[in-house]
Structure 1
């Protein structure tokens, strides 16, 4: 970080330079310290995670960040400790933030920095051919273009030379996960080329990282869909019980996250399930008694059997007054 302040520098930069000596000790990347405790240190925007979970499983009480971060992916779904979905979702927020920065012309490209007197030129430092706009940085530079062609040529073939916003929407509509992962690693590749010249990345490495991230995003989205199905089944079961005139029931489930929702112990749900959460909370607020209990997966095999039975049945609803003989 250069501390020189020229007369042509922006007012913002002059202020930063004037307090640099006071700020430099606090300028660090928290995530680089992978030896922090997952639960008892503040390393996320949420603060200490121990305050956000119902309990920390004893086998994971000494976990550090390095136990969850595997270089390019997080392995939070392997935890026994129940993690609220809004925390898991935060892992994907960096892709959304990159897109947001691009749409608001806020990515620190050379053109962006040159206009604010933070760079001596607005030319791209990678190809030295044209002005480094956001479109050039993320798509049109020959270095970025090569990554897109290796990763998914259709992202460029159908949107060549289009405006940034139109390119974003078309590419997201065609393959949201692949484009989000590619965009993130194209930007990371650019930053590595400029700021880490001693350790350049090959195009094949960047494409491999993007494909791994793409796969993780697909798995994440599928898990969100599965969670929505669990919520829908819970809501539908409560509706059926109410419509049958039952006013004192026991609701057993093996999904701990839904149990926390029904007890109002977590908030900030993913937008994909908010509607179902509100429906469950509404029906629980009615004048009846609903005893919510958690059971292990092994103890909930009857519900699993009925779910499989339902997929093979032509009837909309089947009500048994006593256990089915097949159970």
Structure 2
């Protein structure tokens, strides 16, 4: 993204950020538009800066949302230069296989070329003979032992159709492992192919060790039947166990009727929402304040700039709170569709957090002499704010207060007053 459109005059370079910020109105964009690109201006519009806190500048790691450095995101930076079998996504697929832990560790060792084949033993000076104990004469590498050895080929030929066996046997080691471990939709196996494939490798290796260390040698047909049958048994057992675990670990959900409800007498309700056109695209927010009779008190539409969905949600909450405070409201229920935004507001945040300034502003506003209750609601109970935020994307940049609802909102507001609700699968409350 181009930041500047022309060289910045030398006399402007020493100026600090606070010089371009008006505490009541935000950025002095008229002083910046001659030098910054439209993309940068749009990003600045959505960035909150608060010089009144007197906080010192902080170093922030831009690849995390909380601004703190993480080895995970650092690894993501260098991952394009790492072989495919060393990519984070590939490792995740290994640890998510529906197989016993020892099989996952075994697959990891195969990928890292750590299983003690005769080639590895010779490299470590543990033997002078690296030949395969089954076919002899050929060096026993991991790919040879598990795929290319004639005994292993018999196993694979029973599992994979003749139309695909040529391609299956032709790829190099890394590509072969990556494509099969991560593929759960192949036609070779009705269940998860990556898990079944890993189990076949495990049992081929076990039978290789039975021959080497115990002298137990199965005939090619017996080996094939043993490996395939055992792999199928384990695959079925682990897929069944995994499905049961997934069902038990997920929070119970029940069908509920969700809709907007008015607050108690003497209270007001603020509903806010944010809208985003893709990650890093245009963002906007909207909100509505209603009393205990469901009557419109105030509303707003706010075209923010460029950013993320969570940034839009936080801006919507801030602008809604400011509007409620402006109207002198003392008892307020704030409902937001974003559970993440509400959690960020409730929790302590590090000064290097990406949205630290915005969160700080919201918290200071909540600490004023009024009572504000933060509640999460589903989209079915937040339809007016949802409409306002989405339609704000085509409004001019900035804050637009609404003394009366747009005519297009009449039906939704009327349905809210009537208590219209919609079915939704929601988490069962304890």
TM class by shorter chain equals 0.3 to 0.5
Structure number with greater CO (CA < 8 Å, separation at least 6) is 2
* TM-score, length-scaled by structure 2: 0.34
| Larger strand proportion of the pair | 2
| Structure of greater Rg | 2
